[in-house]
């Protein structure tokens, strides 16, 4: 099982009246499961090969010079917070053992101090000469005290300027009068990164202090990783370990191209898959935090989903580029501007849109009360709609789909009419029309496409369904990929059944 590690190195100092045990943890983590992977057998040859990154280094570039130039711009961050024992979910279960209570008395647990200090270590990047530092939100989250150590071993207290948990970006500022000699790291354009570009990661792994590792850009635009609400990660094989969080990912021009934030690992240590927030996103978030202290994201008011090959075929599209609007929220900005379910957003303010996470990020960063020009496809014709964005108050509405497989058995799909009893039982609003699925075979094409009992089928191949007879006629007459518009538990989604 691969898990994601994004916590800084963590040390817990707990005072007990009677020292039963002392545990030091260098990897207290929050995890999110991704998937299992196959073990890769070692190569038959045992010849020592050079690191692939060396082949990409121009002859006139010295990695040593780049590293020495940039390391002064990366800082170590120590955050301390007071945790109440009653609120801590990680206390040892031995403390409630009946034997200990019998041996030490019934008031044993009450004798344990109710407060403890929790200290975590991470990294940050100096972005201005007056002591502004960008780091990860999870490095400074809930901190009561922040202590920053520079490369020259000077130490400063710091204060939080602003945080943005949805992107895991935070901005802090050094306190003190003597802030001379700070070296901001030049900002690079992460949009110009290419697969195979050599990058260096600088940070504070395991609390060891300023450390430089090297690798390449392994992938770009990683999303749906499940770490943050807004994801567009740079993936790299530069060694990143707990404590590197908030540190710099730099190119060979000595420019900041990413903020290291997480690793995918089966062990908690480096296994060749690290993730960094692109510098363009990090800088935009940081500047808004510095100016406003918070991020007010734009909100379109739609449910959206990526376009699969099956959906493209069913809708007669020439490609899978664009984002499909699966729902339009009542009284939302998109609805007021005339956007409809089934529209395909292909450009925002002239910039091409190819996937859901890209659209989410673009709309969010435009901000509220901003006009966005959307180029959409409706009935395979382009048109432009201007939407005045609202304020995002909920999690992004992304329609989830299950992958379908080609079925070889009958559909065995049974539907019924919507009546007051059914609407009450399944909490279906009065403005939702169609037929409800009352039964379906678990191994049929409909189930394999992701349909479930209780779903309301609103359209078949973009034709509205208002009765069982209408559905039966449209569905039986359809061949190949059948596009269904489905309502489920407050959201709508497009699914394709392969008949």
Which residues share a beta bridge with 203? 211
Instruction: Answer yes or no: 168 catalytic.
Output: yes
pTM score of the predicted model: 0.66
Give the active site residue among 73, 120, 168, 265: 168
Give the active site residue among 73, 79, 123, 138: 138
Q: Does residue 54 contact residue 155 with C-beta atoms inside 8 Å?
A: no
Contacts 24+ apart (CB under 8 A), 317-320: 317/344, 317/377, 317/380
Q: How high is the pLDDT of residue 161?
A: 94
Q: Is 252 helix (H, G, I), strand (E, B) or coil?
A: coil
Question: Which residue's structure tokens are 């009935």?
Answer: 379
Q: How high is the pLDDT of residue 20?
A: 36
Provide the residue ranges of all domains of the chain, joining segments of one domain with +: 1-33+62-295, 298-391, 413-498
Q: Does residue 407 contact residue 498 with C-beta atoms inside 8 Å?
A: yes
> From CA 137, how far away is CA 246, in angstroms rounded?
8
Q: How high is the pLDDT of residue 208?
A: 79
Contacts of 441 (CB under 8 A, 6+ apart): 409, 410, 411, 412, 413, 447
Q: How many helices (H) and strands (E) does the chain have?
A: 10, 28
CATH number of the domain located at residue range(s) 298-391 in this protein: 2.30.42.10
Q: CA distances (Å), 258 to each of 7, 189, 225, 416, 444, in order?
A: 17, 9, 17, 53, 46
Q: How high is the pLDDT of residue 269?
A: 67
Give the active site residue among 78, 79, 245, 279: 245
> From CA 376, how far away is CA 382, in angstroms rounded?
6
Q: How high is the pLDDT of residue 278?
A: 93
Q: How high is the pLDDT of residue 413?
A: 81
> From CA 361, how far away is CA 372, in angstroms rounded?
13
Tell me which of 3.40.640.10, 2.60.40.10, 2.40.10.120, 3.10.580.10 is the CATH number of domain 1-33+62-295. 2.40.10.120
Greatest alpha-carbon pair distance for the chain in Å reads: 80
CATH class of 413-498: mainly beta
Phi, psi of 217 (to 5 degrees): -75, 115
Give pLDDT tens digits along the chain (499 positions).
455 556 555 543 333 333 333 333 333 333 333 332 233 333 333 343 444 444 445 556 688 889 989 999 999 998 887 666 555 545 555 555 554 454 555 555 555 555 666 677 889 999 999 999 999 999 998 888 899 999 989 999 999 999 999 889 999 999 988 889 899 999 999 989 999 999 999 998 887 778 899 999 998 887 766 566 777 889 999 888 888 889 999 999 999 999 998 877 666 667 778 899 999 999 999 999 999 888 888 999 999 999 999 999 999 998 999 999 999 988 899 999 999 999 999 999 999 998 888 898 889 888 889 999 999 999 889 999 999 999 865 444 444 443 333 333 335 688 899 988 889 888 999 889 999 998 888 778 888 888 999 999 999 999 999 999 899 889 888 888 899 999 998 889 999 998 7
* Fold matches, 298-391 and 413-498: yes
Q: Does residue 417 contact residue 470 with C-beta atoms inside 8 Å?
A: no
> From CA 33, how far away is CA 225, in angstroms rounded?
9
Q: Does residue 56 contact residue 197 with C-beta atoms inside 8 Å?
A: yes
Q: Does residue 116 contact residue 71 with C-beta atoms inside 8 Å?
A: no
* C-alpha 152: how far from chain center: 34
200: exposed, middle or buried (C-beta count within 10 Å: 0-12, 13-18, 19+)?
A: buried
Q: Dihedral, CA atoms, 208, 211, 214, 218, nearest 10 degrees? A: 60
């Amino acid at each position: 099982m691969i898990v994601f590690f994004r916590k800084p190195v963590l040390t817990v100092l707990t005072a007990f009246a009677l020292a039963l045990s002392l545990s030091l943890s260098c990897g207290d983590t929050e995890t999110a499961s991704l998937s299992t992977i196959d073990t890769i057998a070692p190569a038959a040859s045992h010849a020592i090969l050079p690191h692939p990154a060396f082949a990409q280094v121009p002859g006139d570039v010295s990695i040593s010079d780049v590293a020495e130039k940039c390391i002064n711009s990366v800082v170590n961050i120590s955050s301390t917070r007071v945790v109440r024992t009653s609120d801590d979910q990680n206390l040892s279960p031995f403390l409630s053992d009946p034997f200990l209570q019998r041996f030490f008395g019934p008031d044993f647990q009450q004798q344990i101090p109710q407060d403890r200090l929790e200290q975590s270590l991470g990294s940050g990047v100096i972005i201005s000469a007056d002591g502004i530092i960008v780091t990860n939100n999870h490095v400074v989250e809930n901190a009561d005290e922040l202590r920053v150590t520079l490369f020259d071993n000077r130490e400063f207290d710091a204060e939080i300027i602003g945080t943005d948990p949805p992107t895991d970006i935070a901005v802090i500022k050094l306190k003190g009068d003597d802030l001379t000699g700070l070296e901001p790291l030049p900002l690079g354009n992460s949009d110009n990164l290419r697969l195979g570009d050599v990058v260096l990661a600088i940070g504070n792994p395991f609390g060891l202090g300023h450390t430089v590792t090297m690798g390449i850009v392994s992938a770009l635009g990683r999303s749906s990783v499940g770490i943050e609400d807004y994801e567009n990660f740079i993936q790299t094989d530069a060694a990143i370990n707990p404590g590197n969080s908030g540190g710099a990912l730099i190119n060979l021009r000595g420019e900041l191209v990413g903020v290291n934030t997480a690793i995918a690992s089966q062990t908690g240590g480096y296994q060749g898959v690290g993730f960094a927030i692109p510098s363009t996103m990090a800088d935009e978030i940081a500047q808004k935090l510095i100016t406003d202290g918070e991020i007010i994201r734009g909100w379109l008011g739609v449910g959206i989903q990526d376009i699969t090959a099956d959906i493209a075929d069913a809708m007669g599209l020439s490609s899978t580029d664009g984002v499909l609007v699966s729902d339009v929220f009542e009284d939302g900005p998109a609805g007021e501007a005339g956007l409809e379910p089934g529209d395909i957003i292909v450009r925002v303010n002239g910039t091409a849109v190819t996937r859901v996470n890209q659209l989410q990020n673009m709309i969010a960063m435009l901000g509220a009360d901003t006009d966005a020009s959307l180029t959409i496809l409706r009935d395979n014709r382009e048109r432009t709609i201007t939407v005045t964005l609202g304020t995002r108050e909920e999690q992004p509405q992304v329609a989830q789909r299950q992958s379908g497989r080609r079925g070889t058995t009958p559909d065995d799909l049974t539907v019924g009419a919507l009546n007051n009893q059914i609407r009450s039982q399944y909490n279906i609003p009065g403005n939702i029309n169609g037929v409800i699925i009352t039964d379906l075979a678990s191994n049929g094409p409909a189930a394999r496409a992701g349909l479930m009992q209780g779903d309301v089928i609103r359209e078949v191949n973009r034709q509205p369904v208002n009765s069982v007879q209408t559905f039966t006629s449209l569905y039986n007459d359809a061949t190949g990929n059948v596009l269904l518009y489905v309502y489920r538990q407050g959201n709508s989604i497009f699914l394709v059944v392969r008949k």
